[in-house]
Structure 1
Amino acid sequence: MEKFGEALLQRHISKLEVAVLKSFQYLMRKSALVRDLRIDTEKFTITLIGPDDQELDPSRLSAGERQLLAVSLLWGLAKVAGNRLPSVIDTPLGRLDSRHREHLVDRYFPEASHQVLLLSTDEEIDEYLLSKLKPSIAHTYTLVHDDKTFTTSVETGYWWSGGAAHVA
């Protein structure tokens, strides 16, 4: 029974490795940076393999690339599990350069789940990225803080559009 359990775990881990690697390569601007990805089933650590078949130290990845790896891990888990649960993604574009931002907007957000809630700062999503997201947006809201009353209100629309970004 123990051997069966180990074989089952390895089969699922293998599927997860493939799903995470494909997701990472799909989101990365430098798709050839990581050739393979392995998950240690005892320590549950991730090892990246570079194009030279050598281990790639994750510290060599930029902060944005590490963020994309984390997104890819979540995306891979969702794909392997087969569950399309709602996703809440907080400040998803903060550490990314413009190319990686565009990859997430084009390739991940529309596919992440049937329902995705993006929480962004006022500098993450500009007019260009919002226009790319519009086909997938049901509603946009802005949280407006009042320094005098120390309260926050919810307004319809994206913060710089005064409601023009709201897609019904």
Structure 2
Amino acid sequence: MPPTPPKKILYTAEAVTEGGRTGHGRTSDGRLEVQLSAPESMGGQGGPGTNPEQLFAIGYAACFQSALLGVAQGHHLDASDSHITARVGIGPTGSGGFGLQVALDLYAPHLSPADAADLMARADKRCPYSNATRGNVEVTLSVEGKAIEQTAA
């Protein structure tokens, strides 16, 4: 199924990087500036900088939780004090390239396990990162470490 493009662009982020995984990155508005370092497990020196997978994990977790909070509000559920832990893995695909794998885990102390699982499934349908990765990146959803069925919602 081809992707569904946005009908209207509300915001565009712009960033420039130099030096790849061991370089430097910054946004055009100057709000974010990062030094990049390749992890030792990927053949790098493991320096003090961040890496694309960490940046992607933060972005995906923030976007996903915003979608979840919006869905929770619409269903009159209390998702306060919740957080999303995102784990982004990278590795060879076996066909000459590299691929990503993502795991998103919800901690939501004010929700029942059933409501939390339902919210995760609904947020997965709403989140632009989930929509962008669907069919390209394996994404697993869980609530407090327990995998959920993604056929809900």
* TM-score grouping bracket, smaller chain normalisation: 0.3 to 0.5
Q: TM-score, normalised by structure 2?
A: 0.36
Q: TM-score, normalised by structure 1?
A: 0.34
Q: Which has the higher helix share?
A: 1
